[in-house]
A and B are shown apart, each in its own frame.
Chain A
Amino acid sequence: MTDVNDGLNPRPDTSGPSREDAERRLQELLERNQGQGEQKNTRRRRVILAVILILLLLLLCGVGAFVAKILFPKADNKNAALEGNEDTGGVIWVRSIYGTGPTPAELFMNPNGVATGPDGIIWVSDPGTNRIAGFRGDGTFVKQVLGSKQTGNPFRIPSQIAVDSNNILYVADRPNETLTIMDGQTKLASARIPGLTSVAVDDEIIAVGSNSGFAILDKDGNAKKVIGTKGPGNDQFDVVDGIALDSSSRTIYVVDTYNNRLSAWDYTGKRKWIVVTGNPANATKLEGGISLETSSSAPARMQLPVSVTVDGNGRPMVLDGFGFSISAFNPSNGKFEGSWGAWGEKDGQFLYPSGLSYDKTKDWFLVGDTSNLRAQIIRIPGTGAKGAAGALSGLRRLLAGPLRALWPCCVLLPLILLLLLFLRWRKRRREREVVLGEPNVDSEVSVKEV
């Protein structure tokens, strides 16, 4: 090794400076100044870029906050008397869907049935405007199927609806007693079912409710079992407004609306249990206008059960159209477990709701909130999976909302970062190769003693 000469302390020349030495020193001085200038430039460049980055991020935050304010509507449920939020009976409002657009013709007139497809599309039937409209999880409109009262093609007046895992839509046209099966806009089949009221479907069967009972059909539409006659007896039914399937336990839940009962059946048509959920509406008097009596000895004290679905814990959840609530029952014995919901027109409240559906993937319920002219997406604590599956549901809910705009970022950002890391790794590898295998005067500098 030779001495280190950093150029700052040149070795004193005892023989006196020659002309060459003087030139060299001058050159060194100039180069040193130039080096300092370079350093200054580098610093300035860094500061400018850092400032640009900070300003850009601040701008993005500002714009993001503004856009978020537009995209995330604030719930309208303030109550002066309560000095806080309106009572929603434990229901957590997510968002509401009022129609396909802002004009009166586009708004719902009588939203009724609700269902979620395997692609996450929320379907809402509106008998008032003869259509079934599809929405994303954030409530934005996707597509609709229009019916015709005149031709009945593809349906006349849609009421309750169901969607299977192949995205086939099952539409109960209640006034015309017709079940229509559709693939998108295409009508695949239709069948006349006397007294048809409701429909449910899974990969194995189709279950249809009627005024006098229910029927189990195979996926080709052939009746496997028809159960019930009209009446108040134990084996009778008085309008099955709600029917739901739990594929995992192969159970059919049947809401017997005017008898105010809930029953569970297996897929062969054998009854597992039956419970009374309130005073039968067909044997009671109206009290105080349109409200029914509430003095039932049944723990659920439901007024008019109109729809049923199955939550993430396999519990039948029954919608009370006149009690403005949703009640949970034990799936093994029908024991009442709890009730949520409140009357009203504010966000999260119900006004004569008629349709209920549960989306397991997002742990939220869809409610056809008929007299409020809307479909509501709500949550009820404790109805979904817990732990990692619960967290996944939360993530799905998040990305089903307006935050779905961040999907490309979520996908692209890790990819870009990986690409940058790869490029950096390749560059370093090349440099190492150069240093070890191919010495290069350009990359490594030799300073020799003068």
Chain B
Amino acid sequence: MAIDTEGTQPSGNEPDKVVTPAAAAKKKAPSDPVANGLLVTILLVVALTLVTVLYAIVGGIFGTGAPRTAGEFKVKAAQAKIQAGSKDNMVWVEYITALIGNGEYRTAQEFIDKGKKTLDKQEIYQDMAYMQATLYAAQGQNDKALAEADAAIKVIKKTSDEAKADSAKTKQPKTAAFLVENQNYWDLLLLKAELLVKKNDQKGALAVYDEYLASKPTAATVFVLRGNAKEKLGDAKGAEADYRQALVYISDDAGALAGLKRIGVAK
């Protein structure tokens, strides 16, 4: 637009002042409001981030490292025993279980590997195999977990059979090696069943639960798990029987009560 801001005629001595838009742009070199806005926003974001970080550090947002959940507490409690130099298998299992439960998989793997090297070779295999299978399961590697659990179950069974044979031969009972005494075996069975349930192989899981309950007929939790499997297979009567059996041992078992409610026989 041509705007005569002077409002006067040019004098005859002065040359006409002609300014094109490009020249005007160059002359004025106006700042770009969009670019300025973006720049201010960037600076604002950076400044506020720095203030937040500083406040977080000074204000102790990150805490002292004290545990904040039951899972973290279990890790810290078991870690203290390990750091005190414990080579007790059970302590290591407790620590690795806590790590897996708390989602610290890398450290758990590290300690499984370390455990295999550090602890007593004779006893370590079963514990660490169980831990390895649990770790794989927690990581969602169900096939690997199942393979590891199966292999460990076979080894434990073989050891148990050998111990039984040896016992019969020498007439000196080695009950510690028997299956019923081996907690790893039963834990592995339950893990295997859990993995089969995850694979939606309810029949396979049912067989494992049957084996478990045949030897440990008062395991209320396993009755609930078997009830769940039967329920999924459409066996409502079988499921109800299992839930009710669980309530015989734990009268207010939440899993059993929930199961009965699900199949509509809560009363």
Interface digits, A296-339 against B, CB 8 Å rule (1 contact, 0 not)?
A: 00000000000000000000000000000000000000000000
Cβ B32 vs Cβ A42 within 8 A: yes
B69/A81 in contact, CB under 8 A: no
- Residue ID in chain B nearest A3 by CB atoms: B2
User: Is B214 engaged at the interface, CB distance under 8 Å to the other chain?
Assistant: no
Interface residues as binary, B11-28 with A (CB distance below 8 Å gives 1, 0 otherwise): 000001111111111111
Cβ contacts B59-87/A at 8 Å (1 or 0 each): 11111111111111110110010000000
Residues of chain B within 8 A of A57, CB atoms compared: 45
User: For residue B222, which residue of chain A has the nearest CB?
Assistant: A81
Which residues of B sit under 8 angstroms from A407, Cβ to Cβ? 55
Kindly state the interface size class of chain B when it binds its partner. Answer: 35 or more
For window 360-400 of A, CB contacts with B under 8 Å fall at 372-374
**Measured between C-beta atoms, what is the minimum distance from B136 to chain A in Å?**
16
**Please, which residues of chain B bring their CB within 8 A of the CB of A81?**
221, 224-225, 228, 253-255
Tell whether A65 is near chain B: CB-to-CB under 8 Å.
Answer: no
Pick from B46-54, B108-116, B120-128, B173-181 the stretch touching chain A: B46-54
Interface of B, secondary structure class, is helix
Chain A residues with CB under 8 Å of B34's CB are 46
Residues of B within 8 A of A99 (CB): 66-67
Q: Point out the residue from A79, A107, A140 that lies within 8 Å of B60, measured CB to CB.
A: A140
- Residues A90-149 near B (CB distance < 8 A): 95-104, 106-107, 136, 138-142
How many A residues, CB 8 Å from partner?
85
Query: What string of 1s and 0s marks CB contacts (under 8 Å) between A60-88 and chain B?
Result: 10000000001101111101111100010
Cβ-defined contact, A76 with B16, below 8 A: no
Is A188 close to B, CB under 8 A?
A: no
Distance between B135 CB and nearest chain A CB, rounded to angstroms: 16
Contacting pair A38 B65 (CB below 8 A): no
Closest to B72 in A: A73
Q: How far is the CA of A3 from the CA of B5 in the complex (A)?
A: 15
> Is there an interface contact between B26 and A38, defined as CB atoms closer than 8 Å?
yes
A372–B224 alpha-carbon span in the complex (Å) = 26
Q: Which residues of A contact B (CB under 8 A)?
A: 1-7, 24, 28, 31-32, 34-35, 38, 42, 45-46, 49-50, 52-53, 56-57, 60, 70-71, 73-77, 79-83, 87, 95-104, 106-107, 136, 138-142, 342, 345-347, 372-374, 402, 404-409, 412-413, 416, 420, 439-450
Additional A-B contact list (19), CB under 8 Å, known A31-B23, A79-B254, A101-B65: A4-B1, A4-B2, A28-B22, A35-B22, A38-B22, A81-B225, A81-B228, A87-B254, A98-B67, A98-B68, A98-B72, A342-B254, A373-B73, A408-B51, A409-B51, A409-B52, A439-B6, A448-B2, A448-B10
